[in-house]
């Protein structure tokens, strides 16, 4: 098989949780473009249906599986959507968070959801004799950038859970790895104003605010045959952000402009806000009444 053929996913079936918008949607579309059929699992029927349509337009099969990844019955029906409606399961992307009130509840619910979904997926993957699981963690699993304990500790847990799962399931030819994004322009960050976007660019060596599509190359590598010997690893896709402790001297002045301009950064966010019916100014800055926080 040629090296580029190793990246193709023809005939594979993927399940992506939280794929109605944001990072999950970009992942679902990339998987379809690489040849996979996709289960679009989400709480939101409207956005999930829109992504199913986008996948079908790319010539692949897609089904929506509506539910909450924090509920075992819903996780079962998501995996069943793959096995019963698309013929099996080869790839699971644990992208959605399960929510929760308070630190311990959040950490517990999120790790439990990952364990439950992944165990169900591995049962289905055993029938194929192989499989790939990718967990979505965060730079917050390595640094403390969010107040309170839940998110940072929970995401650190995702990184180590990835290693434990990798060792546990290698005997079934299932690889388990995780991707850690930096601040990413999805609807989750729709409250960021221009000052915040500029602050994030200024601490990111590559010079732009991460887009969901900036992680798709890494995802396709991790779910394809090209990564069959890689397991239990965290790949931090952050434009160099975590490396940039620029306290004592200013960052090196840019010689070339960033590969992605401020205008190009928000395309995915603008698409999602339009599907959600959230009012914005054309660059993805939302009206005050549309903000998630006060």
Ligand X SMILES: NC(=O)c1ccc[n+]([C@@H]2O[C@H](COP(=O)([O-])OP(=O)(O)OC[C@H]3O[C@@H](n4cnc5c(N)ncnc54)[C@H](O)[C@@H]3O)[C@@H](O)[C@H]2O)c1
Judged by the rule CB under 6 A, the positions of this chain that interact with ligand X are 17-18, 20-24, 42-44, 47, 68-70, 95-99, 136, 138, 181, 183-184, 186-189
CB 169 to ligand X: min, Å: 21
DSSP state for residue 176 in the 8-state scheme = E
CB 216 to ligand X: min, Å: 13
Pick from 27, 208, 213, 249: which is nearest to 132 by CA?
Answer: 27
Q: Which C-beta is closer to ligand X: that of 63 or that of 136?
A: 136
Residue 272: both structure tokens together = 């999602």
Q: Which C-beta is closer to ligand X: that of 23 or that of 166?
A: 23
DSSP state for residue 189 in the 8-state scheme = G
Strand partners for 62:
38
CB 33 to ligand X: min, Å: 18
DSSP state for residue 60 in the 8-state scheme = -
Given a contact cutoff of 8 angstroms between Cβ atoms, the answer to whether 189 and 272 are in contact is no
CB 21 to ligand X: min, Å: 4
Q: Which C-beta is closer to ligand X: that of 6 or that of 271?
A: 271
Q: Which C-beta is closer to ligand X: that of 95 or that of 227?
A: 95
CB 58 to ligand X: min, Å: 19
Given the residues 151, 183, 209, 221, the one annotated as active site:
151
Q: Strand 13-17 and strand 131-136: pairing?
A: unpaired
Given a contact cutoff of 8 angstroms between Cβ atoms, the answer to whether 137 and 234 are in contact is yes
Q: Which C-beta is closer to ligand X: that of 46 or that of 283?
A: 46
- For ligand X, which residue has the nearest CB? 22
> Is residue 221 annotated as part of the catalytic site, yes or no?
no
Burial pattern 138-165, b for ≥16 Cβ within 10 A else e, equals bbbbbeeeeeeebbbbbbbbbbebbbeb
- Rounded CA gap, 126 and 167, in Å? 15
Q: Which stretches of 127-215 are DSSP H helices?
A: 150-169, 194-202
* Active-site residue list: 151
């Amino acid at each position: 098989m040629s090296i580029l053929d190793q990246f193709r996913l023809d005939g594979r079936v993927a399940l992506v949780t939280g794929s109605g918008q944001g990072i999950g949607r970009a992942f679902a579309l990339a998987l379809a473009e690489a040849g996979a059929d996709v289960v679009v699992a989400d709480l939101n029927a409207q956005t999930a249906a829109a992504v199913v349509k986008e996948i079908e337009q790319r010539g692949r099969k897609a089904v929506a599986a509506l539910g909450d990844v924090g509920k075992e019955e819903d996780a079962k029906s998501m995996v069943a959507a793959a096995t019963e409606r698309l013929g099996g399961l080869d790839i699971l992307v644990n992208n959605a968070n399960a929510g929760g009130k308070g630190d311990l509840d959040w950490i517990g619910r999120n790790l439990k959801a990952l364990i439950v979904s992944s165990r169900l997926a591995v049962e289905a993957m055993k029938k194929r004799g192989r499989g790939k699981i990718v967990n979505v963690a965060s730079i917050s699993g390595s640094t403390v950038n969010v107040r309170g304990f839940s998110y940072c500790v929970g995401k650190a847990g995702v990184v180590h859970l990835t290693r434990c799962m990798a060792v546990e399931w290698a005997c079934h030819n299932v690889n388990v790895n995780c991707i850690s994004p930096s601040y990413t322009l999805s609807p989750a960050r729709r409250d960021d104003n221009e000052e915040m976007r500029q602050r994030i660019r200024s601490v990111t060596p590559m010079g732009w605010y991460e887009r969901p599509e900036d992680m798709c190359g890494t995802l396709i590598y991790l779910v394809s045959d090209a990564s069959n010997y890689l397991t239990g690893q965290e790949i931090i896709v952050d434009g160099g952000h975590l490396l940039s402790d620029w306290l004592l001297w200013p960052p090196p002045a840019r010689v070339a402009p960033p590969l992605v301009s401020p205008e190009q950064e928000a395309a995915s966010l603008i698409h999602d806000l339009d599907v959600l019916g959230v009012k914005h100014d054309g660059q993805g800055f939302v009206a005050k009444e549309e903000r998630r926080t006060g």
